[in-house]
Amino acid sequence: MSEADLKRRILAEVQGELAAIEQAIEANLAPHVELAREIAGHLLFAGGKRLRPLLMVLCSRLCGYRGGYETTFSTIFEYIHAATLLHDDVIDGGRLRRGRPAAHRIWDPPAVVLTGDFLLARALSIAARAGRLRILEVVANVTEEMTQGEILQLQRKGDLDLTRDEYLRIIRCKTAVLFEGACRVSALLADAPAGAEEALGRYGHHLGLAFQMADDLLDYTEDSAALGKLPGADLREGKLTLPVIHALARASEADRRTMVGIIEQPDFSAETFAGLVSLLHRYDGIDHTRRQAAMEVSRAKASLDFFPASKIRSILMDIADYALIRKS
């Protein structure tokens, strides 16, 4: 099935959930300071897939939850996601986000950072409404791990010796833990058995890894119109991802020198970048990353075997497949 057909099939099943999530994101934002609303809204309402809150809603229903609070609690994971994007763009000096100028290019960076802090606090405040310590622990752990992942990535910025294992640790902390957290909290909200929480935690973990690997591929396979940011943005920001790490380890001495030369000049031209992409293909960086992402998708889908076949389980399977083949 094509990317477009799979996307249409998923959207046809979750239109109502996505509309409710959109309303909840706006209704629960509630800052007392208008500037915080403006900055947060600039990012939150610029599009976005709403994948993390959608996972929370779908997984809670997979566990049989009918309490009516899953949509409100799903906003936790969109607010955390938005906070990290605001912070990331300030740290990296990003120019575009979701096709718009990054927030720090419109407002003072300190105000953008503080708005990110507000969103994290808002997420914790909503989590506390559940009155369950375990839910609050999971959400707090997500923010802790994501922050450490950002620090680790910053520490290794531009490091050509970054290993595959270090890369995996970074994307686990920065991406997979948020997916896993959304799925775990859904089981906790539903008072599902421990086996369900663990199965959904594994699903979210492997889906998050696959999603980030696929995202890292897009930087080398799609154009700015599809990405909503400049191609090669990761390299311009000093971030080495799996396609580059794998190719560097396998390149001839001459081609490695060429690749390093491109990586070390962040203002490379489109023609130079195209040359790098050609080398990534030559040394299997692109296809290797795609294979690794496909393996994580298979693991995510296998985790759902804990649950009996159902419409919602099928949607979650489709979401895992879509994470691998998406174009944006």
Question: pLDDT band for position 225 (50/70/90)?
Answer: low
- pLDDT, position 226: 58
Decide if pLDDT at 222 tops 90.
Answer: no
pLDDT, tens digit (0-9, with 9 covering 90-100), for 234-276: 888 889 999 999 999 999 999 999 999 999 987 888 899 999 9
Q: Which of 16-20, 180-184, 244-248, 260-264 has the lowest mean pLDDT?
A: 260-264
Question: pLDDT band for position 313 (50/70/90)?
Answer: very high
- pLDDT, position 265: 86
Question: pLDDT band for position 130 (50/70/90)?
Answer: very high
Domain boundaries, the chain: 3-325
Question: pLDDT band for position 211 (50/70/90)?
Answer: very high
- pLDDT, position 249: 97
pLDDT, tens digit (0-9, with 9 covering 90-100), for 24-81: 999 999 888 999 999 999 999 988 899 999 999 999 999 999 999 999 999 999 999 9
Question: With 0-12 CB in 10 A as exposed, 13-18 as middle and 19+ as buried, what is 236?
Answer: buried
Please give the average per-residue pLDDT across 3-29, as a whole number: 96
Model confidence, pTM: 0.95
Please give the average per-residue pLDDT across 205-227, as a whole number: 88
Q: CATH topology for 3-325?
A: Farnesyl Diphosphate Synthase (1.10.600)
Decide if pLDDT at 224 tops 90.
Answer: no
Q: At what angle do helices 70-92 and 3-27 cross, to 10 degrees?
A: 100
- pLDDT, position 227: 58
